[in-house]
Amino acid sequence: MAHSRERDSSPSGPLAGPLAQSRRFGWWSLLCWLALGLALESLHGFKVGWYLEVVNEGRRLQLTLAHSHGVLLALINLVFACSMQREAGPPALLARAGKCLRWSAVAMPLGFLGGGVLAVGADPGLPIVLVPIGGLLLFAGVLFAARAASASAT
């Protein structure tokens, strides 16, 4: 029995690498940060003092920010991979955009996570310094992606 194959619409050539990396990274990252969300819900459900006590409000905020930023940045990586799939922008710009977006999705949520786990009272722990680095990487990644999209539209 003959079996028909659907045509693979994924890009080939220089675009395949950065977009495939962003797509894989986005799905695995989403899974990890959703797992953190489930863990935080469990801490809340079991009324764990380390998480819920008033003196740990800063910790709870940092951990919530880690979860929300991690999920959002994972989704941004997936949107990047999908939206650029049919674009023929400069491969170098797409590669830079993908790399910046992936590193921002590591640095920013890990900064919040480390800041929350290592919090002392209301003050976040030292890993919080990763948050502005992640923010700059996110800005650069979006700028490179916008430039690549604009170059392909012309």
Per-residue pLDDT at 141: 98
Q: What is the pLDDT of residues 66-108, one digit of tens each?
A: 999 999 999 999 999 999 887 667 899 999 999 999 999 999 9
Per-residue pLDDT at 139: 98
Q: What is the pLDDT of residues 124-145, one digit of tens each?
A: 999 999 999 999 999 999 999 9
Pairwise CA distance, residues 62 & 57, whole Å: 9
**Paired tokens of 18:** 């950065």
Contact (Cβ atoms closer than 8 angstroms) between residue 135 and residue 108: yes
Write down the mean pLDDT value for the chain: 89
